[in-house]
Structure 1
Amino acid sequence: MGQGTKQRQWVKPASAPNSEINVTPLVDVVLVLLIIFMVVTPLLEKDILVRVPETEVENEPPPEPDAQQIIVQVDKDGTYSINTEQIAAADYVTRLKRMLNAKKPDEKVVFFMADDAANYGKLVVALDGARAAGAKILGMATELPPNAVIPGALPTTPEGAPPAPAPTP
């Protein structure tokens, strides 16, 4: 062999390529996660202290509704009624103010009844108007009191007969 010739050497791999997953780092990561969860889990179960208000039981029934209560109704078309008398929206506050000025300061209570299909904005305007008229307590009624007169319905006496016509002033 001459001096100018170079020999090429080929390196043969000693074994076939390894195509298996190395499990050791995977086990290390899983064990670290297990330790983290074991430390965090007791912290998640810690109770939060909450102060709950005490309940009061009332033994006396609520007072009976009287004819002097002010009940504002909001119909589905947005009209206002004070004690079953329809009022224009422009006159609502002034009429309510007149009615509330005749009452004692601790009796300025206004109840509201709104039709299920009534506009919520109209009810809010009625509530704001009652507060502007001087109402101290605003209440929401879900049912008419037993002595209330429903517009358009004929009131009846307990026996079922229509009552005698009311005297006109």
Structure 2
Amino acid sequence: MAFSARVSDAPLAQINVTPLVDVLLVLLVITMITSPVLTHKVKLDLPQHGIVDVTTPPEMVQLAIHADGSMTWNDAPIDASMLSSQLVIAAHQSEQPHLVLDPADGVSYQTVASVIAEAKQQGLQRIDFMDPR
């Protein structure tokens, strides 16, 4: 078994890939750990192709949330306590209305999320967003 000693002082022109592999494995582990946290399911009620609904649409209630946090229920100004009572009334009707949210551009996510959570907590089934067109 012969070992050769390197006698030349020329630089070695090879890349050490061990640190690169270590970094890639760490990134892979981080990705594998965080990917289940980032994916959460949202139930969507998408229209089916070819199925025509001939029933009369339920009453539609428009809830506009303005940039300053104020709200209007079918163009009538309401506050948070009135919103809660309106949602209770709407949820206990024989045919629940279709709640359509119209948040303004400057509304915080927390405000919209709390309104949706309140509506779901009161039992409203149909909550949609206003079409921006």
The two structures have a TM-score, normalised by structure 1, of: 0.44
- Does 2:59 correspond to 1:80? no
1:102 maps to which of 86, 93, 96: 93
* Alpha-carbon distance in structure 1 between the residues aligned to 2:69 and 2:49: 37
Pair 1:61–1:117, CA change in 2 (3 A): farther
1:137 maps to which of 115, 122, 126: 126
* Alpha-carbon distance in structure 2 between the residues aligned to 1:20 and 1:100: 85
Q: CA deviation at 1:100?
A: 2.6
Taking the TM superposition and a 5 Å limit, the aligned residue runs for 1:57-96 are 58-59=49-50, 68-96=59-87
Secondary structure at 1:117's aligned position in 2? coil
Residue type at the aligned position of 2:110: G
* Alpha-carbon distance in structure 2 between the residues aligned to 1:136 and 1:57: 19
Secondary structure at 2:80's aligned position in 1? coil
* Aligned twin of 2:115: 126
Pair 1:112–1:62, CA change in 2 (3 A): farther
Residue type at the aligned position of 1:132: Q
Which 5+ residue runs of structure 1 have no aligned equivalent?
1-18, 34-55, 145-169
Greater RCO structure (CA 8 Å; 6+ sep): 2
Deviation by residue 1:55-89 (Cα, 9 ceiling, x = unmatched): x97246788x9682122111111012111111111
Paired residue total: 96
Pair 1:115–1:97, CA change in 2 (3 A): same
8 Å Cα contact 2:59-2:97 kept in structure 1: no
Residue type at the aligned position of 1:87: I
Pair 1:103–1:84, CA change in 2 (3 A): farther
Q: As a proportion of its length, which structure holds more helix?
A: 2
8 Å Cα contact 1:108-1:134 kept in structure 2: no
Could you say what the CA RMSD is over the residues aligned between the two structures, in angstroms? 3.6
User: Once structures 1 and 2 are overlaid, which stretch shifts more, 135-144 or 82-91?
Assistant: 135-144
The two structures have a TM-score, normalised by structure 2, of: 0.54
Please tell me whether Structure 1 or Structure 2 has the larger radius of gyration of its CA atoms: 1
Give me the identity figure in percent.
Answer: 11
Pair 1:87–1:66, CA change in 2 (3 A): farther
